[in-house]
Structure 1
Amino acid sequence: MCIIETQPVIETRRLTLRSPGAQDIPRIAALANDPDIARMTQFMPHPFDVGDAEDFVLHVASQDPSKAVAFVIEHDDHGPVGVIGLHEGDDHSPETGYWIGREFWGRGFATEALEGALGWTRKHWKRRALMAGHFADNPASGRVLEKAGFLYTGEVRRPFSSARGARADKRMMVWLA
């Protein structure tokens, strides 16, 4: 039986990945309330307000850590800059997703956070494969996934995106430890 930390902390060169708490709610709401961020996620609504951030923090606290974990991505100088999560996907295979606040795009934070989360996944979550996907109109996310070692599977899904209010092509990728 594998015991999973309920509130793991991951340290990378510039970032700390930790469980979100009540102190993060205003910052998460401020960063996530961006239509260009929300439309690139499957589940995030837009607008995204303090109530949505509260719901997110409560949801994370209630998750079974053997099936799902989420982290605030925190930078020493900037505070929280985004969120990354790992969860059992629709087909019960582990999947990852992330978002970074607009003012922090292009700084390598998503790649660094993803690489840190993958190391934790391999060592502590004992997963040897992870799925991820990015909407076809978000090639930047595909590049982040590629840099972290994900490969395209050739599968395209059409999930419903809450912020778009419509289905969109999602290009699937896989990471093998």
Structure 2
Amino acid sequence: MFPELTRDDVFRLETRRLWLRWPRMADAAAILRQAGEKAVAEMTANIPHPYPPEAVEPFIFAMRKGNALGEHLVLAVTPRAKPNELIGMIGAHRQASGTPFIGYWLGTQHWGKGYATEAVQGLIDTLFSLVDVPAIEADTRVINPASRRVLEKSGFRPEGSFLKSLPARGGLFPCEQFRLDRSTWAALKSWGATGWAHAPELEARTSADAEPELPARLQQSQSETCAA
């Protein structure tokens, strides 16, 4: 599903404040520290709590291998000014239906700054630009209104609630399904010359430090290889 461009670890996405790149073995400590927080893990399907230290490097290896094979596109979220400093992760995964599914998390100290929205919109732009898919899907636990707001600000629309198996949580839990059609994404992009003009307007009403968000730029440079 994912093109050759994304299968090399020099691939990255840049947004106004973020650099999204392949995860590295050097990210292990940051992943363990941040993904292992209860507030982060309990909103996900597969992150255990507590996070076993011995599981981190096999996870990074699996994500890199899947990226290389085009099975998924999982990226570390980092500040543009500090690309070695992982603050979260975001990924798009293949589904049997052919519609990619996205998921993401940020360390708690980075919540409330608009980073998740910026990363999601950057990944959405990339998927619709590089992959011929009619839509993108996502879901959130019903007790996670912050994640719901991220998806809604990015153009996703709710499609109802359902019970989802969350293996790391140990059972079935109520979740909300979301979908973003290509036509909706194209309309949102055309509303503003810089793209996603609607998101800062929404954030301005809820956050005093909200800043305008720009679409991601695809970049690939042999001089900036991401070391494993």
Q: TM-score, normalised by structure 2?
A: 0.71
Name the Cα RMSD after superposition.
Answer: 1.9
Q: 1:72 aligns with which of 69, 76, 79?
A: 76
Query: Structure 2 vs 1, CA of residues 66 and 18 (structure 1 numbering), >3 Å: closer, same or farther?
Result: same
User: In structure 2, what is the Cα distance between the partners aligned to 1:45 and 1:92?
Assistant: 28
The secondary structure found in structure 1 opposite 2:131 is coil
Count, aligned residues: 176
User: In structure 1, what is the Cα distance between the partners aligned to 2:13 and 2:23?
Assistant: 13
Q: Which residue of 2 aligns with 1:119?
A: 125
Which residue type is aligned with residue 151 of structure 1?
R
More strand by share: 1
- Corresponding position: 1:103 with 2:104: no
Q: 95-104 or 58-67: which moved more?
A: 58-67
Cα distance, 1:118 vs structure 2: 0.6
User: In structure 1, what is the Cα distance between the partners aligned to 2:40 and 2:148?
Assistant: 15
Q: 1:172 aligns with which of 158, 174, 177?
A: 177
Structure 1 segment 1-177 matched on structure 2, within 5 A:
3-6=4-7, 7=9, 8-63=11-66, 65-75=69-79, 76-77=81-82, 79-89=85-95, 91-154=97-160, 156-177=161-182
Q: 157-166 or 98-107: which moved more?
A: 157-166
Q: Given that residues 98 and 133 in structure 2 are in contact (C-alpha distance below 8 angstroms), is that contact kept between their aligned partners in structure 1? A: no
Q: 59-68 or 12-21: which moved more?
A: 59-68
Which residue type is aligned with residue 157 of structure 1?
F
Which residue type is aligned with residue 71 of structure 1?
L
Q: 91-100 or 75-84: which moved more?
A: 75-84
Cα distance, 1:4 vs structure 2: 4.2
Q: Given that residues 39 and 161 in structure 1 are in contact (C-alpha distance below 8 angstroms), is that contact kept between their aligned partners in structure 2? A: no
Indicate the structure (1 or 2) with the bigger Cα radius of gyration: 2
Q: TM-score, normalised by structure 1?
A: 0.91
Q: What are the superposed Cα offsets for residues 126-145 of structure 1, whole Å, 9 maximum, x if unpaired? A: 33311100000101100000
Segments of 5+ residues of structure 1 without an aligned counterpart are none
The secondary structure found in structure 1 opposite 2:86 is strand
Segments of 5+ residues of structure 2 without an aligned counterpart are 183-228
Q: Percent identity?
A: 31
